[in-house]
Amino acid sequence: MSLAACCVACGRRMATSPPSLKSSTYWRELRNIIKFTGSLILGGSLFFTYEVLALKKSLTLDTQVVEKEKTKSYIYVNTVSLDNRENHGITYQARKELHKAVRKVLATSAKILRSPFADTFSTVDVEDHECAIWLLLRNSMSGDKAARLQAVKEMSQAHHWHDYQYRIIAQACDMRTLIGLARSKESDLRFFLPPPPLPSLKEDSSIEEELRQLLASLPQTEVDECIQYFTSLALSESSQSLAAQKGGLWCFGGNGLPYAESFGKVPSATVEMFCLEAIVKHSEIPSHCDKIEANGGLQLLQRLYQLYRDCPKVQRNIMRVVGNMALNEHLHPAIVRSGWVSLMAEAMKSQHIMEASHAARTLANLDRETVQEKYQDGVYVLHPQCRTSQPIKADVLFIHGLMGAAFRTWRQQDLDQVLMEKASEGEDRYTTCWPKTWLARDCPALRIISVEYDTSLSDWRARCPMERKSIAFRSSELLRKLRAAGVGDRPMIWVSHSMGGLLVKKMLVEASKKPEMSTLINNTRGMIFYSVPHHGSRLAEYSVNYRYLLFPSLEVKELSKDSPALKALQDDFLEFAKDKNFQVLNFVETLPTYVGSMIKLHVVPVESADLGIGDLIPVDVNHLNICKPKTKDAFLYQRTLQFIHETLAKDLEN
């Protein structure tokens, strides 16, 4: 909030009469509003810390900063000489400069924001660059959407302002402008105020206990048996027994981590993590999001976020919760007030693709100004993640397979450890997600989406019903989420690896039966399948550990060669696709994949990868690397890029 909002009561007198050393009436009035708590000279500028003690008459500004009676900020003025003979003393000169600064703030805010006092301050001289800032601020609150967007764009491109000028925008802009700046690639982080102080933990309490209380406050309705079971487990058990019961095999998030611990090995786990994973699933239910917010969940999650800065898994789950809450528009003011936009703006600039993509999802769900779609849990836009003037003409969707993940599945092939170490040095040397880096640069007119869903190899969770893991269940769930994200409204190409291709086929077959899904079918231009077992795989017959042979998961069972569900899906898809003009490209591995240290398995043989439609291209890689090009010039990527260009040629030209 600018000083104008605090000093209007004495502004007229200050504007019409210059400061006088003998006359102090105006100064007494100013002291009624401002108490000085100290001054320093730093970096060539003198600044005063002031404390607001009373808010008298104020300008009408939309602000989230001053919600309490007391707050602190800074007024920057030019450095003055300490020689009394030169300026009649530092106190007088400082007051003179302060009055000048206050007059400018009052004049600018009155003129530009059209306050009732415009005539009073119309004669005050205001520097051009100061007027421009307030003009941008006014335009950002305009009733004209085009003017608002242009103002935010110009703000985001400002890199020559002083600190206080960024703070003027930060303190006086509305929620819509703040979110727009956070989603603008070039925005300076000084536009974002630090999150407000977090409330102190209750006496004799801990984060673990407060997480338990938050989880206990959430209804147990509208959740499936898995969530109910693990919620009660997280609330009732100690960290040790909880880890033992979990056995390292249960996961809400589907992050692609291996689950191959031996019988006697118990993974490291804490109650905090299990509570957080349960809260992620609760946050998918709108009414539960209201409960999370009402019970201080946004602040508690922020405390956890700050505490676990070095734990990406914890941070990702926290951002998943906030991103799910952002799907509910009535919670946007609470999310902004709690300081999450500042944290997400910082995360957006991260070089870690997963962190930036989670933040991008949350901010896109908050940005109702330019984003109509809603991105539910597990649906991530890899490009464009920021506001852009580039028109988006088509979509490309990436669907991972068994034990895969939205980002890691599509990384560059790991040639050696040296390349992994170079990953942090830049995307030109190594990319952890080639659709995000290579494809986005080569095809900027595409919206690139990657989805994530949880899978497992073994069914050791007797109390958690696995019917929800079937291909039919997964395809229905993903189809619903993708339609909410606007998938089907543009021309599109599906790209899938392994079991992900079966999900794509199932989604298209199911969509063809629903009239409301007709646009998705009509806009599907083509499909790329990376080693998809259209006719089954021998994966169910092998395992890293013999326990998988006894209890293979439903996903693995459905991949077996004699699976009735798989045969029915293949027949249904061919019947559906025979009169469609789909372009299809099939890649298949020719090298075996090592499963563990002893078993070598050809996961998808050539005959299984033959869909019966489109080209079939064998590649000398194994099942894991079939979707991981070695370099940008590698055949796998270049052939994929060629297919996308050719299939979408007419759509990209329009």
33: its two tokens: 């509003």
Looking at the domain assignment, is residue 91 inside a domain?
A: no
Clarify whether residues 511 and 557 are in a common domain: yes
Clarify whether residues 356 and 458 are in a common domain: no
Looking at the domain assignment, is residue 116 inside a domain?
A: no
Cα–Cα distance for residue pair 396/526, rounded to 1 Å: 10
Examine the fold and report which residue of 159, 176, 191 is the final residue of a domain before the chain moves on. Answer: 191
Q: Which pLDDT score, from 0 to 100, does residue 205 have?
A: 77
Clarify whether residues 632 and 500 are in a common domain: yes
Cα–Cα distance for residue pair 82/301, rounded to 1 Å: 49
Clarify whether residues 457 and 606 are in a common domain: yes
The answer to whether the CB of 435 falls within 8 A of the CB of 443 is no
Q: Which amino acid is at 239?
A: S
Cα–Cα distance for residue pair 535/607, rounded to 1 Å: 8
pLDDT tens for each residue of 549-568 = 444 555 666 667 777 888 99
The DSSP secondary-structure symbol of 202 reads: P
CATH code for position 580: 3.40.50.1820
Q: Which amino acid is at 204?
A: D
Examine the fold and report which residue of 167, 191, 215 is the final residue of a domain before the chain moves on. Answer: 191
Supply the mean pLDDT for the chain: 77
Q: Please, what is the angle between helix 163-172 and helix 128-140, to 10°?
A: 20
Clarify whether residues 367 and 456 are in a common domain: no
The answer to whether the CB of 625 falls within 8 A of the CB of 609 is no
Q: Which pLDDT score, from 0 to 100, does residue 16 have?
A: 37
Looking at the domain assignment, is residue 353 inside a domain?
A: yes
Q: How many CA atoms lie within 13 A of 204 on its CB side?
A: 0
Rounded to 5 degrees, φ, ψ at 483 are: -65, -35
Give the rounded distance of the alpha carbon of 647 from its chain centre.
Answer: 30
Residue closest to 566 by CA, chosen among 538, 588, 535 = 535
Clarify whether residues 351 and 224 are in a common domain: yes
The answer to whether the CB of 15 falls within 8 A of the CB of 111 is no
Q: Please, what is the angle between helix 4-16 and helix 25-33, to 10°?
A: 180
Clarify whether residues 453 and 523 are in a common domain: yes
Cα–Cα distance for residue pair 210/215, rounded to 1 Å: 9
Looking at the domain assignment, is residue 599 inside a domain?
A: yes
Looking at the domain assignment, is residue 349 inside a domain?
A: yes
Q: Which pLDDT score, from 0 to 100, does residue 613 have?
A: 94
Clarify whether residues 435 and 348 are in a common domain: no
The pTM score is 0.78
Q: How many domains does the chain have?
A: 3
Looking at the domain assignment, is residue 96 inside a domain?
A: no
Series of mean pLDDT values for 10-residue runs along the chain (654 residues): 37 37 45 40 36 39 39 41 52 64 58 46 49 88 95 94 90 95 96 92 80 90 74 65 40 30 37 84 93 96 92 93 98 97 97 96 97 97 96 97 89 65 55 96 97 65 52 89 97 95 95 94 97 82 46 61 85 93 96 77 91 96 95 97 97 86
286: its two tokens: 């709108």
Clarify whether residues 270 and 143 are in a common domain: no
pLDDT tens for each residue of 32-75 = 444 443 333 333 333 343 433 333 333 344 444 444 333 334 44
Clarify whether residues 338 and 448 are in a common domain: no
Length of the chain measured in residues: 654
Looking at the domain assignment, is residue 52 inside a domain?
A: no
The answer to whether the CB of 32 falls within 8 A of the CB of 54 is yes
Terminal-residue alpha carbon distance, the chain: 46
Q: Which pLDDT score, from 0 to 100, does residue 112 have?
A: 53
pLDDT tens for each residue of 595-615 = 666 678 888 999 999 999 999
Domain that holds residue 314: 197-243+266-371
CATH code for position 351: 1.25.10.10
Clarify whether residues 558 and 505 are in a common domain: yes
